[in-house]
Amino acid sequence: MTYPHGRSVVALLLGAALLLGCDASPSDAPSPPPERSFRGEITRLGPATDVGPVLSGPSLLLQGDGAPLDTAFQAHLRHLSSQPVDVVVLAASFPSAGSKTPECDRLIRQARVHSCTTITLPDSRTADADTVAAMVRRAESVYFAGGNQCEYVGWAGQAVHAAVIDVYERGGGVGGGSAGLAIQGEAVYDGCTGSVRSEEALANPYDDRIRVADGMFGWPSLRRVVSDSHFAERDRMGRLIAFVARQIDERGAEAFYGLGLNEATAAVVGPDQTATVYGDAAYLVHADHPPETLVPGTPLTFTDLQVVRLTDKDTYRLDERPLDAAYRVDVEAGTFAADPYRAE
């Protein structure tokens, strides 16, 4: 199914097995379900055989935009093994232009990446295919590509989803960029009803486009976290705070957190839950009390939020979430009292 050093695209056909009782006549046998075409693509770059190194992770790689930064991915690999590894990139849709394997095109050039396989599953039902799940399970690192996180949410509970968890639990790595980042937290802004802007979310935190679902994973470092990407570039602090406000209220949580990553920024979380930031900046919003005003159709008021801003090579313990370097952010009637991206 794969070819050495190949960039060939392999189409899989998933069939259904016909189950017959040993004493049933052909006329009594149930009709098989109709065959379903895979409608996806699998492309492997590098040798056809897997390497199977000893693993020392797990590690998470959280990227604020598309393909992971080289420096961040190398740090991710150092957590995983001192030996070469096989990487799988999962995508729910094809890129709108250019190469169909942009992440693997970049990753295969990195030291200690033995192979990189892109598996594109535009039909969420295919995520329940055991054949595809087996490919994922053999990898040492799995990375979710960008696109639309609503498409990934449909994979929850299916075979590929379980395989990703297996990789992490045996000491491997998991990560994602943009939409692939959005699905990593305990809560997921799924985008299934459209994308909301910060000013819209602050004006009405119950906007129909704000739908936050239960997360797909239970990563210890991202408990009670909802994340967002392209952060400062698309001015997403306001909507992230609205997501957090809703989670505090709807879950009855004592505290909830928002993680925002700028473009060209990654956070790599090692086995001890220490995150190291690479690139530009990451923001962690701490909310340990309910918002003052959280009413449908009414601007949000949520004051005394604590925000930690982390830049290149900063480290942060995600199990402890200290506030020594935090600054205060206030939202009053849907408006920030000061620049939320910088301390006063």
- pLDDT value at residue 30: 52
Statement to judge: residues 108 and 134 lie in one domain = yes
Statement to judge: residues 68 and 116 lie in one domain = yes
Statement to judge: residues 239 and 98 lie in one domain = no
Strands 85-91 and 141-144: parallel
Statement to judge: residues 215 and 241 lie in one domain = yes
**Is residue 119 scored above 70 in pLDDT?**
yes
Taking residues 77-102, what's their average pLDDT?
Answer: 96
* Lowest mean pLDDT, pick from 34-38, 82-86, 181-185, 335-339: 34-38
User: What confidence category does residue 35 fall into, taking pLDDT thresholds of 50, 70 and 90?
Assistant: very low
- pLDDT value at residue 39: 64
Report the alpha-carbon angle 182-176-130, nearest 5: 100
* Domain end residue (candidates: 116, 151, 184): 184
CB count within 10 Å of CB 301 equals 18
Q: For every residue of 69-126, which 3-state class applies, written as one string? A: CHHHHHHHHHHHCCCCEEEEEEECCCCCCCCCCHHHHHHCCCCCEEEEEEEECCCHHH
**Is residue 23 scored above 60 in pLDDT?**
no
**Is residue 33 scored above 60 in pLDDT?**
no
User: What confidence category does residue 38 fall into, taking pLDDT thresholds of 50, 70 and 90?
Assistant: low
Statement to judge: residues 177 and 322 lie in one domain = no
**Residue 139 within a domain:** yes
The residue among 280 and 16 whose pLDDT is bigger is 280
**Is residue 7 scored above 90 in pLDDT?**
no
Taking residues 93-121, what's their average pLDDT?
Answer: 96
- pLDDT value at residue 34: 41
**Is residue 22 scored above 70 in pLDDT?**
no
**Residue 69 within a domain:** yes
- pLDDT value at residue 343: 84
Closest CA to 246 of 190, 310, 194: 190
Q: Which two tokens stand for residue 35?
A: 């065959």
User: What confidence category does residue 19 fall into, taking pLDDT thresholds of 50, 70 and 90?
Assistant: very low
**Is residue 52 scored above 60 in pLDDT?**
yes
**Residue 6 within a domain:** no
- pTM as predicted: 0.88
Taking residues 175-188, what's their average pLDDT?
Answer: 98
Statement to judge: residues 146 and 72 lie in one domain = yes
Q: In what side-by-side order are the strands of the sheet with 315-317?
A: 9-10, 41-45, 113-120, 85-91, 141-144, 173-177, 59-63, 265-269, 274-279, 315-317
On average, the pLDDT of the chain sits at: 90
**Residue 144 within a domain:** yes
Per-residue model confidence as pLDDT tens digits over 182-216: 999 999 999 999 999 999 999 999 999 999 999 99
Statement to judge: residues 177 and 300 lie in one domain = no
Say how many domains are in the chain. Answer: 2
User: What confidence category does residue 118 fall into, taking pLDDT thresholds of 50, 70 and 90?
Assistant: very high
Which amino acid, one-letter code, is at 231? F
* Domain end residue (candidates: 130, 151, 184): 184
Helices (H) and strands (E) counted in the chain, each on its own, are 8, 20
* Domain end residue (candidates: 149, 184, 219): 184
- pLDDT value at residue 18: 29
Per-residue model confidence as pLDDT tens digits over 226-258: 999 999 999 999 999 999 999 999 999 999 999
**Residue 317 within a domain:** yes
End-to-end CA distance of the chain: 57
Statement to judge: residues 146 and 217 lie in one domain = no
Q: For the domain that residue 48 is a member of, what is the CATH number?
A: 3.40.50.880
Statement to judge: residues 194 and 180 lie in one domain = no
Strands 173-177 and 141-144: parallel
Query: Which residue is listed with tokens 């053999």?
Result: 138
User: What confidence category does residue 40 fall into, taking pLDDT thresholds of 50, 70 and 90?
Assistant: confident
Statement to judge: residues 238 and 310 lie in one domain = yes
What's the rounded Cα separation, in Å, for the pair 175 and 1?
A: 25
**Residue 30 within a domain:** no
Statement to judge: residues 180 and 194 lie in one domain = no
Range of 156's domain? 38-184
Taking residues 298-310, what's their average pLDDT?
Answer: 98
Statement to judge: residues 102 and 251 lie in one domain = no
**Residue 18 within a domain:** no
**Is residue 5 scored above 50 in pLDDT?**
no
